[in-house]
Structure 1
Amino acid sequence: MATTFMKRCLRAAVPAVLVCLGAAGCDPASPSADGAGGGGPSVHFTAAGDIGLGTAAGNVLDKIAELKPDLNLAVGDLSYQAGSEGAFCGMVTAKLGEEFPYELIAGNHESDGSDGDISKFARCLPNKLPGLQGEYGKQWYVDVPQDRPLVRFILISPGLTFQDGVQLDYSKGSERLAWTEAAVDGAREAKIPWTVVGMHKLCFSMGRYDCDVGEALTNMLISKNVDLVVTGHQHAYQRTHQLRVGDRCSYIWAGTFNRNCVADTGNTHAQGNGTVFVTAGTGGYGLHGVNGNDTEAGYFKTWAGANNGGAFGVLDVTLNRQRMDAKYVPAQGSGFTDSFVIQR
């Protein structure tokens, strides 16, 4: 399916193929050449976490192969089984090819080694994107494409405990929060059009989890108008409205709802007004129910879990210099879909 990065970028001098990245190839007729709505060069990526080794995980990988993105973000909780790193990596490469950028960040099941070891996953599914900064699998960022980038992906691990028994600190004043903030600011300074943050755990949830990533990190991302934050952990699909902090909402506290912190309740958002959070813990391992009466429900636009028509699948995103088009694509067995747009 995928060829090597260098082979597919031999034609990179042609403007229509500035995004020679992954499975979509360098065909000027591909989405990565023309972009959403014919808006020039684009980047196409998928994202999901909470995957496993079962039939449903295989179906989701088949859907990724069908969508032909440039890369996929696997936002943690990979195999759910100790000693299964090789089997998981073999499943992924059999479906997507050896050279496909299946990019990893740790989840709680492999950060501490209990259900696999993130360092072993990172060795058998190594980074395929040039220019990556940081520690792959734990805390890193990369600009895509490397030349004239359209998006900076920032992948972090708040709320996770690693094998040394230390939980990475993203609290106020911490070095890791400062690193993340600098990565966001650096994208702005470099005039990269889009910023996407990925992490396993979440803050806002209509399910069983609290704000494990911390309010300081969450509010920093919103205050910086990060365009999109993608998480897993809650085995369901959830999308917030575009959230903001400002004059009438100085800080968003977990476990409560303040309507002044909602910038836009529609499906088309203006860039710079806030942040959209999407949970796609739908990679193939046991869906959770979703609580429509949760205290944070007012922050959410849509949701689907085990108790209301949810299905395994992926977030599918295409962006160019002018807009980001995102949709939820089920692998099979459900009519649930979702879509939204962010425009510059």
Structure 2
Amino acid sequence: MALLIKLFLTVFILASATVIVTVTADDYVRPQPRKALHLPWDSKLSSYPQQVHISLSGDKHIRVSWITDDKSAPSVVEYGTSPGKYDSFAQGETTSYSYVLYSSGKIHHVLIGPLEHNSVYFYRCGRQGPEFQLKTPPAQLPITFAVAGDLGQTGWTKSTLSHIDRCNYDVHLLPGDLAYADYIQHRWDTFGRLVQPLASSRPWMVTQGNHEVESIPLLKDGFVSYNSRWKMPFEESGSSSNLYYSFEVAGVHVIMLGSYADYDEYSEQYSWLKEDLLKVDRKKTPWLVVLFHVPWYNSNTAHQGEGDDMMKAMEPLLYAASVDLVFAGHVHAYERSRRVYNRRVDPCGAVHITIGDGGNKEGLAAKYINPQPKWSEFREASFGHGELKIVNSTHAFWSWHRNDDDEPVKSDDIWITSLVSSGCISRKRNELADTLTTP
């Protein structure tokens, strides 16, 4: 009898080793929170470049940003296509800011280019320090975006960044809440050093979240730290504010909106959005993607209804322009909708994805409203990141990768067909004209 039991257990164990278990969002058990990271103080020379990151800035140009403690350090970038051989250089601008008892280093922003598409460049900041390497995005599709919001500086942040680093992406999209500095300014510096390995090699395109506001009534305006450190191509896109802008890359028009800038129909942001949407040429850029921080479609109990006012003002514009995808953060969980408009499933609406799960210090938002709304297709409270590969003018592949035991586990994926190929744009042509041109 004992021999039979032993034989049974052996067979059971061997059989179990070959079973593939499919885990759904309902039965997944989330790992425990991880502690905040504590990066050691940087003891390098005061003129040594730190917190290096790059962003897109117009056609064939890249903005290189970094900080030095030495106020006299030159704002120069040397670059070329071979290691250690710099046949081009560019000079840029500098800024700095003070915040209560804190004084920032010298913040450098230098525009380099024109650069060839889909090419590797080697560069050096301020004529000293290490050599960095960047890759420019392709000129045409396919292109891959990494997407992760609400990053912060925790053990889960480090895990998320490690997973993104394995993704063969061209551009990182971040829908708000970067450093979670929350008024403690040196946390901006530690965040800059934390993301430098990734942000110095691929363009990071960001928009602001609530943790970037940092305003002090009567003493300090909002977004001083964010605007000084993370300059985006707002001027190139005709915007008057670094809090909202647009850019085009490889057949995709991307609009970054500000959840914490005025957005009603009388605001500058609203007027700029209408003008920007009218300029979009869907033959040149068949995909239209929008990012902002506070989600409009959210079935989580956290931050419920906070995006309603912005949604009421701006969703008709996005619908009329046939926006394909909308990414948001703020809610510390993941959720993907069906195509939706005006809270109803609509084949001509946008797919809304909440991805505020990068690794923030506040933890996950684990409670959802039940029953699940019809527009909501997949939801899960876990840390992770997303990958959007736009293959051609009609098809894109979206996947969300949960952080699980330090391995990126793909938990949700879907093929998405563009609205350009659906007939929605031609059916809404008159509506587009009326909505976007009405004063």
Q: TM-score by structure 2 length? A: 0.58
Unaligned runs of 5+ in 2: 1-52, 55-60, 63-78, 82-112, 122-132, 422-439
Specify the SS of the correspondent of 2:239.
strand
Rounded Cα–Cα distance in structure 2 between residues aligned with 1:221 and 1:303: 23
The corresponding residue for 1:298 is 374
Select 1:96's aligned residue among 177, 182, 198. 198
Inter-CA distance 130–101: structure 2 relative to 1 (3 Å threshold): farther
**Residue 338, structure 1, aligned to residue 433, structure 2:** no
Equivalent residues in 2 for 1:76-115, closer than 5 Å: 76-81=176-181, 82-83=184-185, 84-93=187-196, 95-113=197-215
Q: How many angstroms apart in 2 are the aligned matches of 1:216 and 1:79?
A: 29
Q: How does 1:65-214 map to 2 (within 5 A)?
A: 65-81=165-181, 82-83=184-185, 84-93=187-196, 95-113=197-215, 118-127=223-232, 133-134=238-239, 137-145=242-250, 150-158=251-259, 160=260, 168-188=261-281, 191-207=284-300, 208=302, 209-212=304-307, 213-214=310-311
Query: 2:336 corresponds to which residue?
Result: 239
SS at match of 1:297: coil
- The whole-number CA distance in structure 1 between the counterparts of 2:195 and 2:289 is 23
Q: What do you get for the CA RMSD once the two structures are aligned? A: 3.4
Quote the Cα distance in structure 1 between the aligned partners of 2:296 and 2:163: 28
Structure 2 equivalent of residue 41 of structure 1: 141
User: Whole-Å Cα distance in 2 between the matches of residues 126 and 176 of structure 1?
Assistant: 17
- Residues 143, 152 of structure 1: 8 Å contact kept: yes
Name the SS for the 1:88 alignment partner. helix
| 1-structure distance, mates of 2:245, 2:312 | 21
Give yes or no for the alignment of 1:316 onto 2:387. yes
**Partner residue of 2:75?**
none
Matched, 1:262 2:339: no
Look up the match of 2:398. Answer: 326
State the 1:143 CA deviation: 0.9
Displacement of 1:181 in angstroms is 2.5
**Percent identity (aligned):** 22
Q: Is the Cα–Cα contact under 8 Å of residues 75 and 198 in structure 1 kept in the other structure?
A: yes
Q: Against the structure 1 CA distance between its residues 106 and 10, is the aligned structure 2 distance closer, same or farther, given a 3 Å change threshold?
A: closer
Do the aligned partners of residues 171 and 127 (structure 1) sit closer, same or farther apart at CA in structure 2, a change above 3 Å counting? closer
Partners of 1:183 and 1:262 lie apart in 2 by 26
Q: Distance in 2 between matches of 1:231 and 1:196?
A: 11
Does residue 1:55 correspond to 2:125, yes or no?
no
Query: Which amino acid is 1:112 matched to?
Result: E
Q: Are residue 287 (structure 1) and residue 364 (structure 2) matched? A: yes
Say whether the 8 Å CA contact 1:24–1:69 is kept in structure 2.
Answer: no
Deviates more, 1:212-221 or 1:129-138: 129-138
Rg larger in structure: 2
How many Å apart are 1:134 and its aligned residue? 2.8
Shift of 1:65: 1.1
1:142-175 deviation line (CA, Å, top 9, x unaligned) = 1114xxxx011110112x2xxxxxxx32223443
Q: 1:33 and 1:97, CA in 2 relative to 1: closer, same or farther beyond 3 A?
A: closer
Code of the residue aligned with 1:198 in structure 2: it is L
1:220 maps onto 2:317 in alignment:
yes
Distance of 2:399 and 2:238 partners within structure 1: 28
Provide TM-score, normalisation by structure 1: 0.72
DSSP-derived class of the 1:79 partner: coil
Query: Which moves more between the two structures, 61-70 or 210-219?
Result: 210-219
> How has the CA–CA distance of structure 1 residues 103 and 33 changed in structure 2, closer, same or farther, with 3 Å as cutoff?
closer
Distance in 2 between residues matched to 1:137 and 1:173, nearest whole Å: 19
Query: Alignment partner of 2:359: what SS?
Result: coil
Once the two structures are superposed, residues 183-229 of structure 1 have per-residue CA deviations (whole angstroms, 9 ceiling, x without a partner) of 22311366311111000012111122214233121232123220100
Query: What is the aligned partner in structure 2 of residue 267 from structure 1?
Result: none
- Aligned mates of 1:279, 1:182 — CA distance in 2: 26
Three-state SS of the structure 2 residue aligned to 1:142 is strand
Counterpart CA distance in 2 for 1:51 and 1:25 is 23
Counterpart-to-counterpart distance in 1, 2:395 and 2:247: 20
SS at match of 1:120: helix
CA distance in 2, matches of 1:57, 1:280: 13
Cα gap change, 1:206 to 1:189, in 2 (>3 Å): closer
Residues 301 and 41 of structure 1: CA distance in aligned 2, closer, same or farther (over 3 Å): same
Q: Report deviation, 1:126.
A: 4.3
